[in-house]
Amino acid sequence: MKIQQNSVVGLTYELKVSKEEDGIESAPFSVEIRDEEDPFYFLFGMSGLPEKFEELLAGKEEGETFSFLLPMVDAYGEADDDLIITLPKEQFSGDRGFSPEMLEEGNFLPLMDENGYSMQAKVLKDLGDQLLLDFNHPLVGFDLHFEGNILEVREATKEELAHGHVHGEHGAHD
């Protein structure tokens, strides 16, 4: 089966990132590896991944390899200054499951929006009684280099399509 809309895709990959600054592209460095012990599964067309990522995988089959570059503009774009905000530190108390170590500069805080969706924010600066947080995607501003292998392609079940995510061994409901 070929990767197409509403198929479940399982793959392994190495993700490297690079960034252009002052007209010079940095050497790509590895930021994530998903291997056979921890493959990445998603519902094609409903993944929430950059559109170009899915576009470049479309039509591939189980057993095929892939290698492509997503330029920053096709990946997560440039940082949005409106997503850098200051919040009162009291919102991140122990009562709410946060430890003082979690609030250290450079850490990512696991959060939920008002609709219950997971999100994260990077702690940029501890301002005493407030925290300066960056809600931009961690890969914003980077070119993404993917190299990997298609492990599995199958038709999504009606339940998976209704819920918008993969179920079973590699999905939400193990």
Could you read off the pLDDT of 25-58 as tens digits, one per residue?
A: 889 999 999 999 999 999 999 888 899 999 999 9
The structural domains of the chain, with segments of one domain joined by +, span: 7-77+140-163, 81-134
Q: Is the pLDDT of residue 173 over 60?
A: no
Task: Decide if pLDDT at 9 tops 60.
Answer: yes
Average pLDDT, stretch 158-164?
91
When pLDDT is cut at 50, 70 and 90, the band that residue 23 belongs to is confident
| The pLDDT of residue 60 is above 90 | yes
Q: Is the pLDDT at 84 greater than 90, yes or no?
A: yes
Contact criterion met (CB below 8 Å) for 32 and 40: no
Q: What pTM value is reported for the model?
A: 0.82
Q: What is the CATH number of domain 7-77+140-163?
A: 3.10.50.40
pLDDT (mean) for 122-135:
96
CA–CA distance, 73 with 141 (Å, rounded to integer): 8
| Cα–Cα dist 77/144, whole Å | 11
Sign of the dihedral through C-alpha 17, 63, 3, 174: negative
pLDDT tens readout for residues 129-157: 999 999 999 999 999 999 999 999 999 99
- Mean pLDDT, residues 93-116 taken together: 91
Domain 81-134 has CATH 2.40.10.330: yes
Task: Say what the pLDDT of residue 174 is.
Answer: 44
pLDDT, mean of residues 4-21: 95
Q: Which candidate, 89, 94, 151, places its Cα nearest to that of 123?
A: 89
Average the pLDDT over 88-102 and give the result.
92
How confident is residue 114, by pLDDT bands cut at 50, 70 and 90? confident
